[in-house]
Chain A
């Protein structure tokens, strides 16, 4: 069989969503951001709401998310994306509004905006990429850097006595009455990608039904910051980050998921 015979519409099993632009991703090879972007854009495409969706890009590696997402987007000051989203959603409640934020943005400088938007129950979706490090600025310690993890500002490993504890902000926001759906997933293998996509679909559906705030954490990697090749970075993530940031639903239909 010749190649030309295989390339036919009926044999198509995957295509890139047109909601991703043709721009070459600025992320490092192996980084989870590209997959996470694609998941969010696929969900918006499948719901047919490109015309009515506004995304908020943070400060951090995904500051240029608007170069890759083919929707109207607003770039926010560091940590302020949930406040910007509030300003949009409150004045235009029919629009779908989501923020796409990293751990430094959402869980350090933007802690107040995160907690208060969640607590008010703003009818928005928050996509939170947690790779335990400040990627954009060159690998400094983040609020989610786990104990013992080496970064450029914790070169001997995170010392809890000296540097304080990593913050489980997702578990924290799940406690607030304004959050309706809170989940943590990852994008390191196809099974995880499918779970993340289902969670993102659910999050946008909740927004459509005006049920409250949906918060999806995606535990991801940072090969450059962690100084590991992509495959090893994902292994390290599974072995070291998952015990502290376990994947799974945390709050469903406004109720905390009971642990076994």
Chain B
């Protein structure tokens, strides 16, 4: 068993990054995720593992420092929160287009605009439906505990390097700020320069040696026919993720007549709502998507025949509900419930909304 600690979600991401053997972190302060940079600066990981930590002058600079470090085959992490992630979008589009691996965490706060510093899940569209320009998909992991904040750092890098793609950890202010018990992994060594050369010399810009052609990291193809071919290659990667990388969790769905679909902090709340419903004899289950892209379409479609209704529970005005509807293809009624703008629904509020919607009281 690994070391047990009581930590904030933001601290857990930072500590997990050091233990994962991450090479660099670049970031810019923004509430509610500044603890990541603060923890790293206090911890001085350059002394523990040689990991580089740098506070950038802006989110624009931070994401482009990530782009640079990723281009030379390094494991690089950045974190921010909603308005900062909006500024990352140009860089994320370039990273996706140039096929670079990196992990980005968004500790989401309420918007639009400067919004609020309280938790929200209103960045679902921005994350899953694009965000930046062009045809790309962002592999998205949604942690619902401090433990998953730590675990998804390793999983994120595994996916990022397997597909050479940016990975988003879509958290929120509640998961980032709350303290929970977390089991930390053993320290992994950072890759040596020789290991990076061995693994990534085919594509990384680590210096042209006489035995190979020069490597170029770019998202530019002025020849549209080549750009279309490149896009086909990207789409094939996204289809492979859809086929092989879907992750989700089911609670009380065996006999369920109704289903709640919720991710992240909303899934924690919905679990409690379901317990309250079950105590009243209402057979409700929960599907918690862990990957938002790829979305667990099939497991949702498979459950549909036994269901009388689905409630998509989100801390937003209703964003994931669109993917839930697409998955069930109008075969069952789908409704949304959620507080937003930084407000958090209680388990009782969710249950009341569920009963009013589907039971009729």
Contacts and interface: CB of A to CB of B under 8 A. Distances in A.
Contact of A83 (B64, B71, B98, B219): B64
A192 to B, nearest CB: 29
Interface stretch (A74-82, A153-161, A244-252): A74-82
A72 B23 CA distance: 21
Contacts of A193: none
B214 A71 contact: yes
B56 interface: yes
B207 A86 contact: no
Closest CB pairs A-B (n = 7): A87-B68, A87-B65, A75-B218, A83-B64, A72-B205, A84-B68, A80-B64
A253 interface: no
B256 interface: no
B57 A70 contact: no
A184 B199 CA distance: 41
A77 B65 contact: no
Contacts of A61: none
A148 to B, nearest CB: 33
Contacts of B217: 73-75
- Pick the most buried of A54, A92, A116: most chain B CB atoms within 10 A of its CB: A92
22 contacts: A51-B207, A51-B208, A53-B207, A57-B218, A71-B207, A72-B208, A72-B215, A73-B215, A74-B68, A74-B71, A74-B205, A74-B216, A75-B98, A80-B61, A80-B67, A87-B24, A87-B66, A87-B70, A88-B68, A91-B72, A92-B193, A113-B57
A101 B189 CA distance: 37
A87 B57 contact: no
Contacts of B72: 54, 88, 91-92, 95
A92 B191 CA distance: 12
Interface range, A side: 20 to 34
Interface of B: 23-24, 26, 52, 54, 56-58, 60-62, 64-72, 74, 76, 90-91, 94, 98, 193, 205-210, 214-220, 222
A84 B58 CA distance: 13
A66 B67 CA distance: 17
Contacts of B214: 66, 69-73
Given A71-B207, A77-B64, A88-B71, 14 more contacts: A53-B207, A71-B208, A72-B206, A72-B216, A77-B94, A83-B61, A83-B64, A83-B65, A83-B67, A84-B71, A87-B24, A87-B76, A112-B58, A113-B57
A126 interface: no
B17 to A, nearest CB: 14
Contacts of B210: 51
B54 A86 contact: yes
A106 B19 CA distance: 37
A50 interface: yes
A77 B91 CA distance: 7
A90 B65 contact: yes
B57 A54 contact: no
B204 to A, nearest CB: 8
Nearest to A115: B57
B68 A85 contact: yes
A25 to B, nearest CB: 15
A255 interface: no
A220 B207 CA distance: 29
Nearest to A26: B222
A63 interface: yes
B64 A87 contact: yes
A90 B220 contact: no
Nearest to B91: A77
A69 B218 CA distance: 14
Contact of A90 (B54, B60, B98, B218): B54
Contacts of A86: 54, 61, 65, 68
Nearest to B210: A51
A51 B211 CA distance: 10
Contacts of A83: 56, 60-62, 64-65, 67-68
B215 A91 contact: no
B206 A95 contact: yes
Contacts of B57: 112-113, 116
A77 B65 CA distance: 11
Nearest to A50: B208
B133 to A, nearest CB: 11
